[in-house]
Amino acid sequence: MDVPEEYFGREQSYLKHRFLTEYLRAWAHKIGRLVAREGGKQRIWYIDVFAGPWRSQDTDLRDTSIYIGLQALEEAAETLREQVGAGIELGAVFVEKSPSAFRRLKSYLDGRGGAVVTDAYLGEFGTHVRAIQELIGDDPAFIFVDPTGFKGVEMRFIAPLVEPRFRDVLINVMFNDVNRWKDDPRAFLREQMRAFFGLSDADLPSGLGEIELMRLYRAQLKTRCNVAWAADMSIPHPTIERTWFRLVIGGKHEKVLEVFRSAEKRVAGAEASIIREGARSRRTAQGSLFAPEEIASTEDRRYAQQQQADLTRVGAELSKVLERGPLRWSRVWPRLLEELHLTRGDLSKQCFQLYSNGQLSVSPTPGTRRRTLHDDDVISLRASDARGQA
């Protein structure tokens, strides 16, 4: 795998864009099918509220979320027209604060043509929320929030766009920045943190680590933005062993978690390793005699370690979810996927293993050839384990 040259020196953006591409394609297909079933003319939207272009090296803006979003919509609509003959209309909205970036955005959109109706707003995201709401009504939309820091990324701006049905949101939390300033006592920073996390009166508790901070952000997203499910994943810095940003997904349907974790495995697992290895060798004077693919393990070490740790946590997380008694598997897996960096398939296999080991009961009893759980299976802790938890 080659990272396009436009991304040299900012390989983390490539990973972000790979993730956006994977997720958006799946989302547009899923939502397209859903609205096609409702019949009539429907429009689906891509809403990019920190649009850029930003540090783009490509005249066609191929290395931007602007291009990626428009492309994903068009690809999905094309397949849907072939598959279900649906009359899907496409729309995209972009917001950009910098006048020079906005000029580039505008001239790109004006010259682009294509099937997507586009609108662009100059200025701060927060000042255009009402106009976007009026434009898109209650149409299905994917909202992408990709700032350079945390200022102006207030939860109260995101909420009205995400509240209606058929809305998914992907937020790039600039973790490195948040982490740097989260405990600073200065009043303006306390206020910015409160606004970012959507805390009305309470201050952000001090001393929170990466996991706790992100758990709080997800919880706030769910309560403030009428989102049923939220999960996040980390995108590491290309050459430093540190989280650079965290991508947070929020959506109404548990399917978002399945799509998110699959994309995480492909991008943060399989691809990140090769990309980071390439970045490291480009940054050393001599580079490497070997191609990144030859040096990198097939899975990024960070992701592999996280996955391994999470596989061992499955039993404990399951005990919490099943504390009050048996549940259908369809009610259980989404709650586990919110917390654990595993794909739905890997999680199901691991739980089935617990059943095979006698730690879990499954009803009706699975046939001898089964290796995974099915949505209708009712699962419960074996009596001895349940007593152990009491």
Segment interacting with ligand SAM (CB under 6 A) among 91-99, 111-119, 207-215, 338-346:
91-99
**Range 283-286 contact pairs with CB under 8 angstroms and sequence separation of 24 or more:** 283/239
Q: Is 91 in the site for ligand SAM (CB under 6 A)?
A: no
Segment interacting with ligand SAM (CB under 6 A) among 92-100, 160-168, 293-301, 322-330:
92-100
* Residue from the set 148, 179, 262, 288 that interacts with ligand SAM by CB under 6 A: 148
* Residue from the set 96, 168, 264, 271 that interacts with ligand SAM by CB under 6 A: 96
Q: Is 50 in the site for ligand SAM (CB under 6 A)?
A: yes
Segment interacting with ligand SAM (CB under 6 A) among 135-143, 144-152, 343-351, 376-384:
144-152
Contact assessment for residue 154 and residue 196, using Cβ atoms and an 8 Å cutoff: yes
Min. distance of Cβ 268 from ligand SAM in angstroms?
Answer: 17
Q: Is 12 in the site for ligand SAM (CB under 6 A)?
A: no
Min. distance of Cβ 346 from ligand SAM in angstroms?
Answer: 29
Q: Is 124 in the site for ligand SAM (CB under 6 A)?
A: yes
Cis amide linkage into residue 364, ω under 30° from 0 = yes
Contact assessment for residue 189 and residue 158, using Cβ atoms and an 8 Å cutoff: no
Segment interacting with ligand SAM (CB under 6 A) among 89-97, 203-211, 222-230, 373-381:
89-97
Q: Position of tokens 């009504």?
A: 137
Given the complex with ligand SAM, which of 96 and 264 has the nearer CB atom? 96
Conformation bin of residue 287: beta by default, left when phi > 0, alpha when psi is -120 to 50: left
Min. distance of Cβ 256 from ligand SAM in angstroms?
Answer: 20
* Residue from the set 33, 43, 81, 97 that interacts with ligand SAM by CB under 6 A: 97
Q: Is 385 in the site for ligand SAM (CB under 6 A)?
A: no
Helix (H) or strand (E) holding 50: none
Q: How far is CA 349 from CA 265, 355, 387, in A?
A: 16, 10, 24
Q: Is 54 in the site for ligand SAM (CB under 6 A)?
A: yes
As a whole number of angstroms, the distance between CA 263 and CA 269 comes to: 9
Tell me, what amino acid is at 184?
Answer: D
**DSSP state letters, 266-328:** IIIIIIHHHHHHHHHHHHSSS--SS-HHHHS-SS-HHHHHHHHHHHHHHHHHHHHHTTTS-EE
Q: Is 253 in the site for ligand SAM (CB under 6 A)?
A: no
User: How many residues form the binding site for ligand SAM (CB under 6 A)?
Assistant: 17
What is the token pair recorded at 93? 């909205």
Contact assessment for residue 314 and residue 350, using Cβ atoms and an 8 Å cutoff: yes
Q: Is 152 in the site for ligand SAM (CB under 6 A)?
A: yes
User: 95 - beta bridge partners?
Assistant: 121
Give CA torsion, residues 355, 360, 364, 368, to 10 deg: 10
Segment interacting with ligand SAM (CB under 6 A) among 140-148, 285-293, 308-316, 376-384:
140-148
Q: Is 65 in the site for ligand SAM (CB under 6 A)?
A: yes
> Which chain residues interact with ligand SAM by CB under 6 A?
50-52, 54, 64-65, 95-98, 101, 124-125, 146-148, 152
